A and B are shown apart, each in its own frame.
Chain A
Amino acid sequence: MNVAAQMTVGSGGLAALHSAPFLEGVDGLVVQTQHLIEPHIGSLRRYARALVRDADRADDLVHDCVERALSRWHLWRGEGNLRAWLFTILHNVHVNNVRRDMSAGRPVQMPDGIEPRATPASQDDRLMLNELAAAMTRLPDEQRQTVLLVGLEGFSYREVARITGVPIGTVMSRLSRGRERLRELIAGPDESKIRKAK
């Protein structure tokens, strides 16, 4: 039993009273916000990794997101979807980063190549994933965000509209254009014209 790590938990709660923000519960009890944020870090990291590809930059993004969430905790009213609220913050941090990088003349284009995977893929699988990874880098950022928020993170169109701050119709068109573009890039343009030719 890992007593060492756990022994410190109980007192950490009390010491944290002065620094950490709290959520006023319905019954007047105060719950440490960290307990509420921590379960979402996994999916924030997943989305950030898929969005910016570079693992360190992705974790920087999540770090800034959590920091901002803790400092703006008073804006969270304890109702609605906390995960969506955290993703909204992450989205805003990301958009600001991209804007800053562009004005600083830094390259925004992401590197090609595929992430290492835990399970070995078959040749075909590997090929498809390589193509998908490469195709993702060629999407405009808004389309990439939308494809990931819907397809990887499972948010509803309405939630994606709220997270990215655009009308739901814009979400739909970004999703549609993003997926079609990916399909074209992976399948080749000929195959994608089937429908139009009919």
Chain B
Amino acid sequence: MSRPPSEADLHAYLDDALTPERRAEVEAWLEAHADDAARVAQWRAINSGLSEMYGAVAAEPVPSRLRALALGPRRSGFGWLPIAASILLALIAGVAAGWVLHGGSVAPVGTAAAALPRDAAVAFAVYAPELRHPVEVGAEEEAHLCQWLTRRLGTDVKAPKLDALGFKLVGGRLLTADKGPAALLMYEDGDKRRLTLYMVSGAPEPAAAEFSFAEHDGVNVFSWFEGNAGFALAGKLGRDELLKAARATYAGFKS
């Protein structure tokens, strides 16, 4: 033992703030000095007591006034409304947004913006669990796949590289959306987790590129509009990880 631990060393030992060498020294000291070991154990008991008393607060549902503040007013408080009424609200909000964004000309932004993440989540839920036929055209025919979907959607379809995030293209398929075709590209990582990129064309261009987050039945979705196309990346990934993938996808379409 080179030197006896200071008071600060004992706390830093508990708080895991020592270098491995110093940590080993303090550990050896504590093995030989029961009184200090008891004090550290009591400090540790204080920490676990605090976690026991307050830990559950972090997992409590966030009160509506805080949610409303943090997520914007439209996110909260409408859960109890009948579906039809809330669709109407979404439409009104969308039309109002469209009105403001387009300097008075009403564009149906709201319908497209509201439908996109929902449709993308449904497409994910339907196709991502598929073992034998997840896609119509596989990644080995990527060039053909993209040409085909580009032609059908009338907008440029690419398969952005998500390799840096561990996801590789599985393939894609053509789907139907409200007003026409939609494209679905599927990615998979080494743990067999899947991501789907859902694309529609003919969407009105919003004022600024913006990611919107939504969650539908455990499927997280980031959606955005760019040019005349709507994009939605869906998966059962954490929000941060999905946001990274969304950024990479966005960048992939820009290049």
Q: Which residues of A contact B (CB under 8 A)?
A: 1-20, 22, 25-32, 34-35, 37-39, 41-43, 45-47, 49-50, 59, 62-63, 66-67, 70, 114-115, 117-118, 121, 125, 128-129, 132-133, 136, 147-148, 150-152, 156-157, 172, 175-176, 179, 182-183, 186-187, 194-195, 198
A7 and B70 contact, Cβ closer than 8 Å, known pairs A17-B101, A49-B57: no
* Shortest 7 CB-CB contacts between residues of A and residues of B: A12-B74, A13-B212, A42-B58, A10-B114, A151-B47, A11-B94, A10-B113
Q: Are A45 and B72 interface neighbours, CB within 8 A?
A: no
Closest beta carbon of chain A to B97's beta carbon, Å: 4
- Asked whether, in the complex, the Cβ of A63 is within 8 Å of the Cβ of B113, the reply is no
The closest CB in chain A to the CB of B79 belongs to A5
**Chain A residue contacts of B58, Cβ below 8 A:** 42-43, 45-46
Question: Which of B7, B35, B89 contacts A198, CB < 8 Å?
Answer: B35
Chain B contact residues (Cβ within 8 angstroms of A): what range? 35 or more
Which B11-61 residues sit within 8 Å CB-CB of chain A? Answer: 11-12, 15, 17, 35-36, 38-39, 42-43, 45-47, 49-60
Asked if residues B247 and A2 are in contact (CB atoms below 8 Å), the reply is: no
Tell me the chain B residues, 170-200 only, with Cβ under 8 Å from chain A.
none
Chain B minimum-CB-distance residue to A13: B212
Cross-chain contact B250 with A14 (CB below 8 angstroms): no
Question: Can you list 5 residue pairs at the A/B interface with Cβ under 8 Å?
Answer: A14-B210, A18-B100, A29-B247, A151-B15, A151-B47
- CA of A38 to CA of B61 in the docked complex: distance in angstroms? 12
Chain A neighbourhood of B115, CB < 8 A: 10
The interface residues of chain B lying within 8 Å CB-to-CB of A18 are 100
Q: Name A192's closest neighbour in chain B (CB-CB).
A: B39
Segment touching A, from B130-138, B155-163, B201-209: B201-209
Contacts of A150 in B (CB 8 A): 15
Contact with A along B100-123 (1 / 0, CB 8 A): 110000000110011111100000
* Interface residues as binary, B205-234 with A (CB distance below 8 Å gives 1, 0 otherwise): 011111111111100000110000000000
Say whether B126 faces chain A, with CB atoms less than 8 Å apart.
no
A63–chain B nearest beta-carbon distance, Å: 6
Say yes or no: B239 contacts A39, CB within 8 Å.
yes
Kindly list chain B residues whose C-beta atoms are within 8 Å of the C-beta of A198: 35
Bound together, the chains give a CA A133 to CA B207 distance in angstroms of 52
Residue ID in chain B nearest A187 by CB atoms: B42
Chain B residues with CB under 8 Å of A187's CB are 42
Q: B147 at interface (Cβ–Cβ under 8 A)? A: no
B66 lies within 8 A of A62 (CB): yes
A11 near B66 (CB under 8 angstroms)?
A: no
Q: Please give me the residue from chain B that is nearest to A152 by CB atom.
A: B50
Decide: B208 and A17 in contact? CB cutoff 8 A: yes
Residues of A within 8 A of B80 (CB): 4
The residue that B46 contacts in the complex, of A6, A39, A183, with Cβ under 8 A, is A183
Q: Is the CB of B70 within 8 A of A6?
A: no
Task: State A128–B93 Cα separation when bound (angstroms).
Answer: 53
User: Are A3 and B118 within 8 A (Cβ)?
Assistant: yes
**A118 shortest CB reach to chain B, Å:** 5
Q: B56, A118: Cβ atoms under 8 Å?
A: yes
CB of B66, distance to nearest CB on chain A (Å): 6
- Most B CB contacts (10 A, CB to CB) among A15, A30, A151 go to A15
Chain A residues contacting B73 (CB-CB under 8 Å) are 12
Q: Are B70 and A37 in contact (CB under 8 A)?
A: yes
- Which B residue sits closest to A42, measured CB to CB? B58
Question: Which of these, B54, B79, B82, B116, contacts A10 with CB under 8 Å?
Answer: B116
In the complex, the answer to whether B93 meets A15 with C-beta atoms within 8 Å is yes
Asked if B39 and A183 sit within 8 Å, CB to CB, the answer is yes
Are B81's CB and A4's CB within 8 A?
A: yes
Q: How far is the CA of A121 from the CA of B48 in the complex (A)?
A: 13
Q: In the bound complex, do residue B15 and residue A30 qualify as a contact, i.e. CB atoms below 8 Å apart? A: no
Pick the contact of A133 from B53, B83, B87, B100 — CB < 8 Å?
Answer: B53
Chain A residues whose CB sits within 8 angstroms of the CB of B117 once the complex forms? 6, 9-10
Docked CA distance A172–B17 (Å): 12
A115 in complex: contacting residue of B7, B53, B100, B208, CB < 8 Å: B53
In-complex Cβ contact of B214 among A10, A45, A114, A152 (8 A): A10
Bound-complex Cα distance A12 to B70 (A): 13
Q: How far is the CA of A16 from the CA of B94 in the complex (A)?
A: 11
Do the beta carbons of A32 and B54 come within 8 Å of each other? no
